Amino acid sequence: MKCPKCKGKLVLVQVEPINDAENAYVPYDTIIECTSCSFKIRAESFTILGSVKDFDMNQVEIGSWSPSGSRVLSKYEHIIDYDLLKSLKDSAELVEFLVVDDQVVQVI
């Protein structure tokens, strides 16, 4: 992830869990800050272990499991490379997705 101000590297720090009964995953109060300038924001983030079921240029559908073990299909906006999503869908590989403010921003 790159800083929107200076294009430096961003550091993401998940501070503490947020109690959110509607979310199947544990969201965290998160601080995102640049290592080169004063850019800093607060966000909500979580990770999902799952596979790409479908995607387009704006949204990705991820098949995963809830903490209780039930199957979950979730749709999010994304900023992931189209070719990477195509490769992940074709392979059906399980990967971890980083979701920040309801947008998939990185494959971990």
Please indicate, yes or no, if residue 5 is contained in any of the structural domains. no
Please indicate, yes or no, if residue 53 is contained in any of the structural domains. yes
Please indicate, yes or no, if residue 4 is contained in any of the structural domains. no
State pTM to two decimals.
0.82
Cβ neighbour number for residue 30 with a 10 Å cutoff: 19
Residue 89: domain span: 10-107
Please indicate, yes or no, if residue 69 is contained in any of the structural domains. yes
Please indicate, yes or no, if residue 35 is contained in any of the structural domains. yes
13-49: per-residue pLDDT in tens?
A: 888 888 776 666 788 999 999 999 999 999 999 989 9
Our count of domains for the chain comes to: 1
96-105: per-residue pLDDT in tens?
A: 999 999 999 9
The DSSP element (H or E) to which 78 belongs, if any, is strand 71-78
Please indicate, yes or no, if residue 68 is contained in any of the structural domains. yes
Please indicate, yes or no, if residue 101 is contained in any of the structural domains. yes
